[in-house]
Amino acid sequence: MQQALSQNKRPTGFFIGAGCPLSVRNPDNTPLIPDVAGLTQKIAEAFSTGPGKADWDTLIEGVREDGGDVGNVEHILSNIRQLAAVAGKSSVRGLNRDGLDKLDATICGVISKLVDKALPDPGSPYHNLAIWIRSIRRASPVQVFTTNYDLLTEQAMEESATPYFDGFVGARQAFFDLGAVEDENILPARWARLWKIHGSLNWRLTADGKRVVRSDNQDKTASYLIYPSHLKYDQSRKMPYLAMLDRLKSFLLQPSATLFMSGYSFSDEHINDIIRSSLEANPTAQTFALMYGDLATDKYKKARECGCLLPNLTVIGDESAIIGRNLGPWKALPDGAPSSMPPGAIKADADGKVIVGLGDFANFGTLLRYLTGDVTEDVAGA
């Protein structure tokens, strides 16, 4: 990993999943932004009273009857949009189109409120990533993919003076430029590319439904564009969702492309399919999936399946890893951890078991900080 991160000619990308904001803590030690399970719980609380409670209860009961994951708001939103697509002017499974649209709008509104947070200090792992990106001149641009709706990556890049392109052009109501996205190689290599696969807090669908814009203006006549499902407002390639997925596929098909994934548990089958098919088609590509916690848990079942299938997908957990399709526990080196590894990245628990903590985005950010040589004495001595 360190060797790949130290090269300036290798196409390098980062995938930031929903678990990454958990590494940034509030003063009371709560996460800055909750994960998917936390978002789902907050949304359920929002529907605990009020006019939408009956429709919410009906929806959740239907998802549960179908064996769906009622603890995953992305699965719930997918279900809402599937039902809305066939409801028309009638009703389906006890829900009419108006009720389904209100559920969708309320859920997206709650999500937007919960993720509308700012990084508290410039020493966050997001800032470490942004500074690493601009630390050296590169032959190809660094690509950053994220399924998160928040603006933490944008904040870190702007505060770190790291230029980036996200597919939009303009200032007041920046418009999505598909041509620039598909021909992004004409842009300077020092500009990072930021691809928000599931939409963003500041994306809007204009009132006429014809344009996607990026704007901080809280326009009540424009719809939030949050895409946590495979059903979109429009399946046209002009919509950002499919263009962003195309960027991920195109990146992984580049010779010697290296992707570092953090905070992603392989719960999105559409993204999993792109990763699998691209790595199978391009054996020179390499992906490092950094998982937080024990790799043996049910949460990482799909990650283990992908790792045991693909030789160029390395899955790293706290206590074990899958390297070259081989699953096994970590073992201590005879002389201890390499001195180049940051504090907290490798340690031993009370029983002497080796723990590799790179699945924590904070530790991964510290590794990137080490590679840029920007390490303070208090961090180095931690």
Question: pLDDT of 209-239, one tens digit each?
Answer: 677 788 876 554 445 555 554 444 444 334 6
Give the pLDDT score at 336: 61
**Highest averaged pLDDT of the listed ranges 27-31, 32-36, 124-128:** 124-128
What SS3 class is residue 250? helix
The answer to whether the beta carbons of residues 56 and 100 sit under 8 Å apart is: no
Sheet containing 168-169: give its strands across. 168-169, 174-176, 212-214, 199-205, 223-226
Confidence at 7, pLDDT banded by 50, 70, 90: confident
Residue 337 CA to residue 5 CA, distance in Å, equals 19
The DSSP symbol for 288 reads E
The arithmetic mean of pLDDT across residues 312-333, rounded, is: 93
The arithmetic mean of pLDDT across residues 335-354, rounded, is: 73
Least confident of 31-40, 156-165, 271-280, 321-330: 31-40
Give the pLDDT score at 173: 86
Give the pLDDT score at 207: 72
The answer to whether the beta carbons of residues 168 and 176 sit under 8 Å apart is: yes
Look up residue 89 and give its two tokens: 């002017």
Give the pLDDT score at 128: 96
Residue 188 CA to residue 139 CA, distance in Å, equals 10
CA atoms within 13 A on the CB side of 69: 14
Look up residue 81 and give its two tokens: 């949009």
Residue 299 CA to residue 382 CA, distance in Å, equals 31
Q: Kindly tell me if the per-residue pLDDT of 376 is higher than 60.
A: no
Q: Which amino acid, 137?
A: R
Q: What residues have CB less than 8 Å from 18, skipping those under 6 apart?
A: 35, 36, 147, 148, 263, 264
The pTM (predicted TM-score) of the whole model is 0.88
The DSSP symbol for 372 reads T
